[in-house]
Amino acid sequence: MGRYRVRVATGNSAFSGSNNQVQLWLVGLRAEVELGLRLRPARGQMEDFEVDVSEDLGPLQFVKLRKIHLLIKDAWFCNHITVWVFEQSMEEKEIVFPCYRWVEGDGIICLPETTAWMIRNESQGLFQKHQEEELKARRTLYGWVSWKKGIPLSVAAASEKDLPLDARFHEEKKVDFERTRVVGVTEIALKRLYTLLSSWNSLEDFDQIFWGGKSALAKRVRLSWKDDDFFGYQFLNGVNPTLLRKSSSLPTRLVIPPGTEDLKAQLERKLQEGCLFEVDFSLLAGIQANVIQGERQHLAAPLLMLKMEPDGKLLPMVIQLQLPGSDSPVPPLFLPSDPSLTWLLAKAWVKNSDFQLHELQAHLLKTHLMAEVFAVATMRCLPGMHPIFKLLIPHLRYTLEINTRARTKLISNGGFFDQAVNTGGGGHLDVLRRATTCLTYRSLCPPDDLADRGLLGVPSAFYAHDAVRLWDIISRYVQGIVQLHYLEDEVVRSDPELQAWCREITEIGLCKAQERGFPVSFQSRDELCHFVTMCIFTCTAQHSAVNQGQLDWYTWVPNAPCTMRQPPPTTKDVTLEMVMATMPNVHQACIQMTISWHLGRFQPDMVPLGHHKEQYFSGPGPQAVLNRFQEDLYTLEREIVARNESLDLPYEYLKPSRIENSITI
Ligand SMILES: CCCCC[C@H](O)/C=C/C=C\C=C\C=C\[C@@H](O)[C@@H](O)CCCC(=O)O
Ligand SMILES: [Fe+2]
């Protein structure tokens, strides 16, 4: 018995309130009571009321709530329920019941109090029963499907409309996304009209469509894209810093034609000096090129060799556009000393190939689709009261919807890839399949990946430096939360939901990825922390590193052509006509600009890394860990700002204030 003050907190997004009435119960260890209230929750409001309860409820464990509709069902977004207990001669005690979900229909929702997982064994099995019922319902809502064979599984939803309401964009995000899409389509139409009668036979003609959404750096790209150091810089700190690696030997595919022995000597000298680097696009070899409006597109599978200069500049040394074949002549090597248009076209082929592997491997597969596997497995295996659910859920916001939209708008039949990209038309799916076969756990963990690629400690590798710093900060945050809940390794080993989550990701979502280093169980807190750090890093920092740069590096189309309309050159005689006949046509270029702007622009409702408002945890321990996380991020922010002040090209993508807390675009 006692007096209780109850606070009902409703979400702030549009339509979060409800005209339906809400009924509440308090459930204690010894009894439960229906509060007899009928409130209509208002958007953005916290509504308090007090009740006297005659029964002895015992320690509160759940709040149950139900929305009652007479005529119209009006979904309610409940943030949380907070209860203060005033008991005889005891100070008031605050108990929080997190929700952060839509309450639909008229079923009863059960909210466990925030520390439930810690006391789950002292609750006469009530929490266990609740968890089982919750996961049974979640497995019905979140199903797996193989969208295309050979790539990670996705959420079972033919379009975003099929997703559960809790996985959907909130109104503000949806309106902004749709508005931007309409602006983009309109911009394409206007640019097509504007260029209907214009020439398209010089590289400057791309200026005719270079308006609309673009960044200051995009304008710099337009001026500097032909420069070799600007070209090399992008493999370290551009939109795709994931392919560059330090050479440990001359690549076997690099067949040196007769008469270019001095080139071989230069390469060997740089190799000996430890400053030879390479980017190998062999993954594209043999991929079927797209046919766009009846016009066959073309693909290459380049190898780029670069040298790291003492001043930190990365300069291209040689480009081989195709793999040598036993029954074909030795492929020509393109050099900086070649005629300028020849060398420019060779570099354009490298950047077109980089566009394919960036968007399909680095961006879609290694961030979006990985995050989707984490999201579906989390919803299917981890109950809301589980500490790893609470740790991860803020970093999974909106990902299922943006990925479902990608499958219906970008990589779908007739989508962006089919319309304007030379791997479109099915080749893009083969690239995804090949990339999936070489998707290793190590490649998703920067300390391992950058060590394997020889990029640790390289002064001008700003992505590498910032990625390792962020990994360490996120790792400390994860360890802080894990150590509060798992007091020894045995608790990890004996957590059935956690072990099921791990298996669901590796064996189901990633299609038996244990052969590629992914775990099928966690034997220690360290193993758990490493994996969860990888999840959060992938959903936040890594996506930021490969997403934001689309606006800067892809809107000046010649710098990263989305398609190539003529075959790669096989001689050094390249004319401007050949270059313009190869580069994307006006329509393809307009689509590239629009998509790059749509996907790379700053999201108006973005939540910066570590600054989600939802409070899934309570008590001083988790709050102290989160506070430390935010402090560490702020320290890194200041470090990056200071470093960037001395740079001609500041590297901004891993500034914590610019990293979104989940993958939403
Ligand atoms: C290929 C890599 C993409 C990674 C995922 C991406 O970030 C997800 C995006 C999801 C949906 C994007 C839709 C964009 C739609 C409009 O910009 C587009 O329709 C504009 C005009 C182009 C066209 O379709 O005609
Ligand atoms: Fe993205």
Tell me: the pLDDT tens digits for 388-429? 999 999 999 999 999 999 999 999 999 999 999 999 999 999
Answer yes or no: is the ipTM higher than 0.90: yes
CA-to-CA separations, 237 to 271, 313, 314, 569, 647, in angstroms, rounded: 22, 11, 11, 28, 12
Ligand closest to CA 660 = 2
Topology (CATH) of 2-113: Lipoxygenase-1 (2.60.60)
d(CA 633, CA 165): 32
Query: How far apart are the CA of 10 and the centre of ligand 2, in A?
Result: 30
CA proximity to 242, closest of 187, 189, 281: 281
Phi, psi of 379 (to 5 degrees): -65, -30
90 pLDDT more than 80: no
Query: How far apart are the CA of 503 and the centre of ligand 2, in A?
Result: 26
Contact 41, 10 (CB under 8 A): yes
Ligand closest to CA 662 = 2
pLDDT value at position 213?
Answer: 72
Residue with the smallest CA separation from ligand 1 atom 22 is 591
Contact 596, 387 (CB under 8 A): no
Contact 350, 302 (CB under 8 A): yes
Tell me: the pLDDT tens digits for 163-189? 999 999 999 999 999 999 999 999 999
Query: How far apart are the CA of 352 and the centre of ligand 2, in A?
Result: 19
d(CA 258, CA 260): 6
Of 556 and 105, the one with more pLDDT: 556
Residue with the smallest CA separation from ligand 1 atom 8 is 406
Ligand closest to CA 562 = 1
For ligand 1, residues with CB inside 6 Å are: 181, 184-185, 188, 359, 363-364, 368, 402, 405-406, 409-411, 416, 591, 594-595, 598-599, 665
Mutate to test the pocket of ligand 1, among 360, 398, 431, 598 (most ligand atoms within 8 A of CB): 598
Tell me: the pLDDT tens digits for 640-654? 999 999 999 999 999
Token digits of residue 217: 């750096």
pLDDT value at position 328?
Answer: 81
To which residue do tokens 């402090």 refer? 631
Q: What is the mean pLDDT of the chain?
A: 96
CA proximity to 389, closest of 498, 530, 541: 498
Token digits of residue 38: 């009928």
Mutate to test the pocket of ligand 1, among 191, 369, 416, 665 (most ligand atoms within 8 A of CB): 416
125 pLDDT more than 70: yes
Neighbours of ion ligand 2 (CB under 5 A): 547
Contact 214, 555 (CB under 8 A): yes
655 pLDDT more than 90: yes
Query: How far apart are the CA of 527 and the centre of ligand 1, in A?
Result: 36
pLDDT value at position 22?
Answer: 93
Tell me: the pLDDT tens digits for 279-291? 999 999 999 999 9
Contact 152, 580 (CB under 8 A): no
Atom of ligand 1 minimally distant from the CA of 185: 21
Residue with the smallest CA separation from ligand 1 atom 9 is 406
Domain boundaries, the chain: 2-113
Query: How far apart are the CA of 406 and the centre of ligand 1, in A?
Result: 6
Residue 69 banded pLDDT, cuts 50, 70, 90: confident
Ligand closest to CA 408 = 1
pLDDT value at position 37?
Answer: 75
Counting residues of the chain whose pLDDT is more than 90, the rounded percentage is 91
d(CA 541, CA 445): 11
Residue 89 banded pLDDT, cuts 50, 70, 90: low
- Indicate the DSSP class of residue 524: S
Can you give the pTM of this predicted structure? 0.98
Residue with the smallest CA separation from ligand 1 atom 4 is 364
Query: How far apart are the CA of 665 and the centre of ligand 2, in A?
Result: 4
Tell me: the pLDDT tens digits for 195-231? 998 889 999 999 999 988 789 999 999 999 999 999 9
d(CA 359, CA 166): 27
Query: How far apart are the CA of 403 and the centre of ligand 1, in A?
Result: 10
Atom of ligand 1 minimally distant from the CA of 188: 21
| Binding site residue list | 17, 74-75, 363, 368, 543, 665
Residue 122 banded pLDDT, cuts 50, 70, 90: confident
Residue 431 banded pLDDT, cuts 50, 70, 90: very high
Tell me: the pLDDT tens digits for 455-503? 999 999 999 999 999 999 999 999 999 999 999 999 999 999 999 999 9
pLDDT value at position 27?
Answer: 96
Residue 73 banded pLDDT, cuts 50, 70, 90: confident
Tell me: the pLDDT tens digits for 505-555? 999 999 999 999 999 999 999 999 999 999 999 999 999 999 999 999 999
